[in-house]
């Protein structure tokens, strides 16, 4: 397997893992990794990168991970995800990408309840930066250097929270 193939597979695995860690913030009970889903309309089999289950088990969302590093997701790529949502009966989707969406892709995503998650292209389970809506999640195993003022909120595994602004 080529080096770029390993990076793509690792990106997908890390994305699904991290989304599962913050599933509740996405309105999900849990996130599972890649699997196949049968289209209700077409009868075709869809290979999906991840599947999120809504709280209360009333539906699921399709997760698509695309580690494209040279250009944003296009309208056509988003239309592919949109049709898989329609065909499988999913209630929406999440697109994970380091660069985000082009204008036409953003319109398709909005129309079909597809949320965008930005995940750094070189993320691992311990060193990552991803964001969605107005939240940013960072995992680091080394030192972080802050060059501008920033407020940091830490939520620990036990649920306790701490907020601070590092001194210059």
Considering only residues 117 and 141, tell me which one the structure prediction assigns the higher pLDDT: 117
The answer, yes or no, to whether residue 106 has pLDDT greater than 50, is: yes
pLDDT of residue 1: 42
Cα end-to-end span (Å), the chain: 45
Instruction: Please name which of 126, 122, 124 lies closest in space to residue 139, comparing C-alpha atoms.
Output: 126
| pLDDT-based confidence at residue 18 (cuts at 50, 70, 90) | very high
pTM (2 d.p.): 0.78
The answer, yes or no, to whether residue 32 has pLDDT greater than 90, is: yes
Query: C-alpha angle 143/149/150, rounded to 5°?
Result: 65
CATH number of 3-122: 3.40.1350.10
Contacts of 116 (CB under 8 A, 6+ apart): 94, 95, 97, 100, 101, 109, 132
Residues 36-52 have a mean pLDDT of 97
pLDDT digits (tens, 9 = 90+) for 119-144: 988 888 887 788 887 777 778 665 55
CA distances from 49 to 14, 96, 112, 165 (A): 11, 10, 18, 37
Query: C-alpha angle 102/46/109, rounded to 5°?
Result: 25
φ and ψ at residue 146, rounded to 5 degrees: -100, 125
pLDDT of residue 16: 94
The answer, yes or no, to whether residue 5 has pLDDT greater than 80, is: no
Strand partners, 48: 35
Residues 75-87 have a mean pLDDT of 97
Domain positions in the chain are 3-122
């Amino acid at each position: 397997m080529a080096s770029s193939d390993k990076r793509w597979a690792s990106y997908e695995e890390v994305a699904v893992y991290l989304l599962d860690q913050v599933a509740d913030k996405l309105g999900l009970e849990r996130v599972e990794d890649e699997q196949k889903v049968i289209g209700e309309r077409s009868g075709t089999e869809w290979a999906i990168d991840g599947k999120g289950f809504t709280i209360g088990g009333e539906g699921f969302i399709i997760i698509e991970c695309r580690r494209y590093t040279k250009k944003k997701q296009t309208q056509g790529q988003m239309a592919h995800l949109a049709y898989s949502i329609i065909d499988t009966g999913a209630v929406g989707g999440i697109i994970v990408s380091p660069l985000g969406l082009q204008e036409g892709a953003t319109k398709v995503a909005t129309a079909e309840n597809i949320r965008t998650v930005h995940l750094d292209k070189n993320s691992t389970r311990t060193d990552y930066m991803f964001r969605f809506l107005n939240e940013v999640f960072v995992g680091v195993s080394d030192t972080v250097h802050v060059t501008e003022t920033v407020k940091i909120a830490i939520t620990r595994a036990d649920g306790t929270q701490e907020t601070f602004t590092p001194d210059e």
